Amino acid sequence: MARERGERSDRERQPRERDREESELIEKLVGINRVAKVVKGGRRFGFAALVVVGDGKGRVGVGSGKAREVPEAIRKATDQAKRGMIRVPLREGRTLHHDSNGHFGAGKVVLRTAPAGTGIIAGGPMRAIFEALGVQDVVTKSIGTSNPHNMIKATFDALSQVSSPRSVAARRGRRVSDILGKRETGAAGAQEA
């Protein structure tokens, strides 16, 4: 009987841990639109929400939801964003590993790494993505459309192309030091010896 209790307490603990992980997520409302459906008797109004969700440690997702009421639209968008989160490798936990370009429709974005202390230089929807992602230093440029849906999807396209030196080395069957090259001090020490 005591053993059964112990098993039950483990089962009860798992949902609580999941709830705690979800409560630590950063939710950013990017935009809300009033939409209309034309029917025989006139117009039926509803709302469309665009939400970005991240854990501040390299995971981020985006979702959109529509409903007759604003809170329900936001809830639907948040649930979709949590289901579709992607992992982005970060250098030193503060910036991207390399520059990246992305596009979606008429929206094009350029993401550039930045030295410490630069901050998030991004506008509108892209800023929400990087704040939820946990990036502290990045410079971005949006070219083309300023539609939030296209900008966010273009940013996600660029983020999906970012890879860490470790994953590149694993793909090539090499060591990380072979990919990054030897450091200046190591090369100078080898020449002296």
- Does 186 score more than 50 pLDDT? no
Q: Which of 78-82, 123-127, 150-154, 183-187 has the lowest mean pLDDT?
A: 183-187
Q: Which two tokens stand for residue 50?
A: 């665009």
| Total length of the chain | 193
Q: Enumerate domains of the chain plus CATH numbers.
A: 24-171 (3.30.160.20)
Distance CA 120, CA 34 (A): 30
The closest alpha carbon to 46, from 66, 26, 23, belongs to 66
Residue 57 host element (H or E): none
Distance CA 153, CA 155 (A): 5
In tens, the pLDDT along 115-131 reads 988 899 998 899 999 99
Sheet of 138-144, strand order: 100-104, 107-113, 138-144, 120-121
Average pLDDT, the chain: 84
The SS3 call for residue 122 is: coil
